[in-house]
A and B are shown apart, each in its own frame.
Chain A
Amino acid sequence: MYWYVARRLAWAFVATFIILTITFLLLEVTPDAQAAQLQFQAAQGGGSAEAAREAYETRRGLDAPLWERYSNYMINVFTLEWGWSDTRSQPVVEAILDAYPYSLMYGIPAVLISTVVGIAIGLYSATHQYTLADYAGTFVAFFGISIPNFWFGIILLLVFAVELGWVPVLFDPNVPVFSVANAKQLVLPVFVLTTAAIASEMRYARAEALEYVNAEFVKTAKAKGADGRRILTRHILRPALVPLSTILVGDLLGLILTTSYLVEVVFGIPGLGRLSLDAILNQDTALVLGTTFIPVLIAVIGNLLQDLAYTILDPRIDYGDR
């Protein structure tokens, strides 16, 4: 088991290295929109386009040879000195530490609510298949999956902020984390994210639970007189959690990298989603590598933790001989 974990950690290191290298190379080969525009501006003003490009490269540290920049970045990443973000004028670590709290503020409630509620509705639907409640649950799931988050967020803002005035339109980063004002401004983003995530959790939970609802061991438990709650939590949920845990890491990453970006744009939240995407759009290499490193780490380590969780959820799984 320990050997298995050690090998997986070593692989995590290699995988991170490869992914960061690919990211660096992709940024290198991507045409720099800002440089092109600055050159065009300089030409329009009668100045030297070439000088404008050189000045831009000096400012962005792009005037050093490729290999030197690559080795610097990689050393910086692995020594956790992630350098300076040219597009935010602050250290990369500070940029990430600034953005993380905002992502967590809405991300944690959204993940918790969608996981608990999604699995609960899924299990209920599975055990009450083809009832009105099942159809209602399925409707909620499809609504959440189908509705574009971006559009949904805008509509919610128009209704609850502009028309009803129940919540503010703008996100205020200065209010205390644990305050009513913060809760009010987070209600809508959390709701939007939850409706999206709850759907997949619920559908997976329902499908997985259905596999066990009529399983022999469930029938046996029923025959032995186990009550409904015990059957649901001990005999259906537990085996169903093994595949369900697989989607948790994916969901978390998806939330941080994709959905969260759209939600952050609509609600003006200065979180990690915007930080990551803006870094890519602005080709801020140091910041891209920093913001890539964390999700890569979450993915690799998260997968490891998830594999280890299997052994707890299902004692038949054992990595002892691997």
Chain B
Amino acid sequence: MALGNEEQSDAPSALLFPNRRGLLKVLGVGAAGAAGLGTAGSVGGQETTTTGQGNQGDRSVQGDYVVGDSTDAETLNFVQIADVPSANRVGLTLDGAYALTPPPNSEVFPLWCDISTEDSRTYTVEIREGLQWGGDYGRMTADDWVYMITEVFQAEDNWAGFANQSDWQRNGEFVPVEQTGELTFEIRLPEVDPAFPLKPIMWGEFCMPRGLLEKYVPDKDLEGLQQDEEVQTLAYSGNLGPYSFERWNREAEFVASRNDDYYMQNVENIPEEYNQSAWQGAPYFESWTYQVIPEESTRLSALQTGEITQTSIPENKVSQFEDDQDVNVNVAPQPFNSLLIYNQRANGWEPFRKTAVRKALSYAVDKRAVVENILRGFGSVAHTFQPEFSRWYDDSQVVETGVGDAYSSEEARSRLGEALGGTQYTYDGDTVVGPNGNQLTLKLVWPVGTETTRTTVEFIKQEYAKIGINVELEGVQFNTLLSKYAQNSYRGDGEPEYNAGPFNAGPRDEAFSEESWDMQYGIIFNTYPRTPSSTRSFWTRTSSTNYYGYVPEADMASLYDRASSATDEAQRQQLYARVFGILSEEQPCNFMNMGVDIDGFQDEVQGPQEVFDFGWNANTWYFQQE
């Protein structure tokens, strides 16, 4: 899987078929500098440059669509999928419950199902008529869904190794799910959650027929399910997806051919803005192939020669394609934030715990220079933990630092000098010195493997040198970064006050990582612009991802509580705007920049747009007729 500091360059293809389960989560981690990082300021989320439009009249079924991917799928058993390539392949043959349209609207676009609620607590899922399983499994009913959720997803011992079981739990209890009709079932949440449909729980969820699962559920036969021929070949997919499984040559290609019986061809009442006629003839390619090409230069060569239709392009290779008449470069904003993280735990530099110190340091690094010179303009400066295209981003609340007048070594030095009052550190001339009189040295840890990350940390080192702080760079493997620097354990006496898991095993004085560190750059965090309540896992004292030991001055937990349960949209918006405003003020990290996704498409491809999540309607894309 393309995670860690390895090739995130596959992210673009992952963004096709984004209605597939788990993508939001899977894409939430990675390393800065990976291909597809950064969003040029010019690539505003609101800009939508359409490379192809039109109704079905412009479309006809022709040609084979080939995506160049760096890694292959691991499995076609969606219950076990935890990687993007696998989800993409399954997604060709199974549509999933429903899709979401791109932000800022992020509306539910019903595929197999629609989801509705009256109280934001009990959600009714209504399954479409005419959905037919393959083989002898008949039609899809609520019974299939409820059986799968209760017997597989919510199985006590998780015998099937379901990757996202905690999605179906609240406060340690499984969420009740009950069939209410042949084609309807209810999900009864214990508390109000207006954002539930937008979370990757039912969104993009796949389903298996009960008859198939019943062969393995009674004996909890994991091996049987893994090796089942119908699961391995997606033979149960019937009319449920735009394509049908054709063949899978491991490490080479996954080929799916057009499904002539695709149920969406018969669906009516699709809102006009989503182009009903386009869906009625979908899909418009004879076949869709994921071709595994591990070497980036080979993928790019294949794009040049026209042997593949689409692949991701790293920012340093974009210029190569700008003059190529046969290739369109599509740059889409992303919600992934590359941040400079300060270690506020006991094995980090103690003054990081002071908001004034962190704020002073945010004046020291020229964020625009990073975006424009290192990311070659493919990214956007970030001031808080939310992209500007998000509806929860409010200019008036966000404090900007590290750009314009708010970038200044002198200002940073002056602010830092004041902020260090009361600590053991002070300025001696132009240099920050510690209690022993030596210049302060901070250790910046970063994941090796990408050139832009290396250049960025070297730039940060230079910027810190201007304010009299020496930075020692330490490159490590990504999994080492996670296991030895991010994961921490409780080292105090007795029981910890709280334990939020391996990345926040307790209060910052008693729980810290195996290796000491002061700063970190190169891990990308998902900012969840659709479901901002999910950002709670970063910014409260007891958050599960708070491995950096941030203790907010404001009462963030209470703000999150109020915001996530607010059913009034305006109130919710106001509360989240406040949350992200506070983050820009308190600077728990330097938010540095937001990434973009860069893809190259053959010129004749019509459909991709320069917006986040542009692949949600890839089934309506087509080749322009010559």
A320 to chain B, nearest CB (A): 48
User: Are B253 and A173 touching (Cβ within 8 A)?
Assistant: yes
Dominant secondary structure of chain A at its interface with chain B: helix
- Judged by a CB distance under 8 angstroms, whether B132 is at the interface is no
Complex contact B75–A44 (CB within 8 A): no
Q: Is the CB of A59 within 8 A of B544?
A: no
User: Could you say which of B77, B307, B482, B537 contacts A37, with CB atoms under 8 Å apart?
Assistant: B482
Cα–Cα, bound, A95→B292 (Å): 16
Which residues in window 34-67 of A have CB below 8 A to B? 34, 36-52, 54-56, 58-59
Tell me if B397 is interfacial: C-beta within 8 Å of chain A: no
Interface check B116, CB cutoff 8 A: no
Residues of chain A within 8 A of B226, CB atoms compared? 84, 89
Residue contact A42 to B166, C-beta cutoff 8 Å? yes
- Determine if A44 and B25 form an interchain contact, defined as CB atoms under 8 angstroms apart: yes
Q: Fill in one digit per residue for A18-36: 1 if any B CB lies within 8 Å of its CB, else 0.
A: 0000000000000111101
B624 within 8 A of A: no
Give B251 Cβ to nearest chain A Cβ, in Å: 4
- Asked whether B39 is an interface residue with its Cβ less than 8 Å from the other chain, the reply is no
Instruction: Give CA–CA (A50, B503) in the complex, Å.
Output: 11
Residue of B nearest to A33 (CB): B479
Residue picked from A50, A89, A270, most chain B C-beta under 10 Å: A89
Q: Among A44, A84, A161, which residue has its beta carbon within 8 angstroms of that of B537?
A: A44
Given contacts A45-B534, A46-B537, A89-B232, contact A95 B503 (CB under 8 A): no
Inter-chain contact A50/B29, CB cutoff 8 Å: no
User: Separation in Å of the A297 CB from the closest CB of chain B?
Assistant: 23
**When the two chains form their complex, are residues A40 and B503 in contact, meaning their CB atoms are under 8 A apart?**
yes
Of A37, A47, A158, A275, the residue contacting B301 (CB under 8 A) is: A158
The reply to whether B251 and A278 contact each other, CB–CB distance below 8 Å, is: yes
B279-314: CB near A (< 8 Å → 1, else 0) gives 000000000000111110110011011011000000
Closest to B165 in A: A51
CB-CB under 8 A from B478, the residues of chain A are 33, 37
A44 touching B525 in the complex, CB below 8 Å, given contacts A87-B74, A268-B294: yes
State the CA gap A230–B501 with chains docked (Å): 77
B223 at the interface (CB under 8 A from A): yes
B503 touches which of A49, A173, A268 (Cβ 8 Å): A49
* Distance, CA A24 to CA B139, complexed state (A): 46
Contact A48 B250, CB 8 Å, known A41-B28, A55-B158 = no
Instruction: Encode contact with A along B469-491: 1 for CB under 8 Å, 0 otherwise.
Output: 00000000111101100110000
User: Does residue B536 face the partner (Cβ distance < 8 Å to A)?
Assistant: yes
Contact between chains at B545 and A43 (CB < 8 Å)? yes
B222 on the A face (CB < 8 A) = yes
A169 within 8 A of partner (CB): yes
Is residue A205 within 8 Å, beta carbon to beta carbon, of the partner chain? Answer: no
Q: Which of B74, B162, B501, B504 contacts A89 (CB 8 A)?
A: B74
Say whether, besides A88-B250, A270-B250, A270-B251, A44 and B29 are in contact (CB < 8 Å): yes
A267 with B232: CB separation less than 8 A: no
Residues of B within 8 A of A170 (CB): 291, 293, 298, 302, 307-308
User: Is B167 an interface residue when CB atoms closer than 8 A count as contact?
Assistant: yes
Complex CA–CA separation, A266 to B482 (angstroms):
30
Beyond A36-B479, A266-B295, whether A162 also contacts B164 by CB under 8 A is: no
The interface centre, meaning the residue of A32, A33, A50, A168 with most chain B CB atoms within 10 A of its CB, is A33
Q: A58-B161, A168-B307 are in contact. Are A41 and B26 (CB under 8 A)?
A: yes
Q: Which of B181-233 contact A (CB under 8 A)?
A: 222-223, 226-227, 232
The answer to whether B307 touches A169, judged by C-beta atoms less than 8 angstroms apart, is yes
CA distance A315 to B292 in the complex (A): 51
| Chain A residue, CB-CB nearest to B158 | A55
Q: In the complex, how many angstroms separate the beta carbon of B151 from the nearest chain A beta carbon?
A: 16
A49, B544: Cβ atoms under 8 Å? yes
Q: Are the CB atoms of A157 and B301 closer together than 8 Å?
A: yes
Q: What are 21 A-B pairs with beta-carbon distances under 8 A?
A: A31-B479, A40-B545, A41-B28, A44-B526, A47-B167, A50-B502, A58-B159, A58-B160, A58-B161, A59-B80, A59-B161, A86-B74, A88-B251, A89-B226, A90-B250, A169-B302, A170-B291, A170-B298, A265-B295, A270-B250, A275-B251
Question: Which 10 pairs across A and B sit closest by C-beta, in order of nearness?
Answer: A59-B161, A47-B166, A33-B479, A270-B251, A58-B161, A46-B537, A43-B544, A270-B252, A49-B501, A89-B75
- Using A38-B163, A89-B77, A268-B294 as known contacts, list a sample of 16 further A-B pairs with CB atoms less than 8 Å apart, ordered by residue number in A: A31-B480, A37-B4, A39-B487, A44-B25, A45-B28, A49-B501, A52-B163, A55-B163, A56-B163, A58-B158, A87-B74, A88-B251, A162-B304, A169-B302, A170-B298, A268-B291
